[in-house]
């Protein structure tokens, strides 16, 4: 079962993501802050990370760099309320960029596409 790490500072969204993505057949771990996220990332070998760019504590982009430094092969999907970073996401080496929406079908599709076939 592919493993997902979801990082977001909104507890309601974390719950929503967990429930929806578990139903899709993923093993989901959630983190509400940067420190928690790094700890989880160190402990577990994830197949994909969904990361909110704008975290209340700590910069989501710094966290992205950290993840890429630790394990380049893990795809990171940026999930955010801001549409404006969209044009730049490729320069950050993120696998994809999703603008937050109540409709999770885009996020699900992107996560599916980001995970290499062997793991899925």
Partner 1 sequence: MSADHHPSDRSPEERAASRGRRGESNKGDAPPRGENGREDAAWSAVEHVSRASLTASRLEDLLALILRETAALAGADAGTIWLVDTRTGRPRLAGRIPEESHEEPSGIRETWGPLVEEAIREGRPARARIEADGGVEETVAHPLVAFDETVGALAIRARPAVESAPLRILCAQAAAAIQTSRLFERVHASARRLKAVEREVLRNEKLATLGEMSAKVAHEIRNPLAAIGGFARRIEKGLPEDDPKRSYTGIILKEIGRLEALLGEQLEIARSPAPRFQMVDPVDLVRDTLALVREEIERKGVRLIRRGGGAVPSLLLDPDRVKQVLLNILKNAVGATSRGQEIHVGTRASDGWMEIEIANNGERMPGEILESLFVPFASAREGGCGLGMAVADQIIKEHGGEIRVRSTREWSAVFTISLPIRTNEDRRRTPERRRRERRRVA
Query: How far is 53 from 63, CA to CA, in rounded Å?
Result: 9
Looking at 100, 110, 114, 115, which residue binds partner 1 (CB under 8 A)?
100
Among positions 2-21, residues that touch partner 1 (CB under 8 A) are: 10, 12-13, 16, 19-20
Q: Does residue number 91 form part of the binding site for partner 1 (CB under 8 A)?
A: no
Among positions 23-52, residues that touch partner 1 (CB under 8 A) are: none
Which own/partner contact pairs does 104-110 have at CB distance under 8 Å and 24+ positions apart?
A: 104/16, 104/17, 104/20, 107/17, 107/50, 107/77, 107/79, 108/20, 108/21, 108/24, 110/77
Looking at 104, 106, 108, 120, which residue binds partner 1 (CB under 8 A)?
104
Contact residues for partner 1 (CB under 8 A)?
10, 12-13, 16, 19-20, 54, 81-84, 99-104
């Amino acid at each position: 079962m592919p493993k997902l790490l979801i990082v977001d500072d909104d507890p309601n969204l974390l719950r929503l993501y967990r429930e929806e993505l578990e139903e899709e057949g993923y093993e989901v771990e959630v983190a509400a802050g940067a420190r928690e996220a790094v700890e989880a990332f160190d402990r577990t070998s994830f197949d994909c990370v969904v990361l909110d760019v704008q975290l209340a504590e700590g910069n989501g982009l710094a966290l992205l760099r950290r993840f890429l430094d630790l394990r380049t092969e893990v795809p990171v999907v940026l999930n955010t309320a801001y549409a404006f970073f969209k044009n730049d996401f490729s320069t950050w080496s993120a696998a994809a960029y999703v603008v937050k929406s109540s409709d999770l079908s885009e996020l699900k599709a992107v996560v599916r596409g980001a995970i290499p076939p062997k793991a899925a």
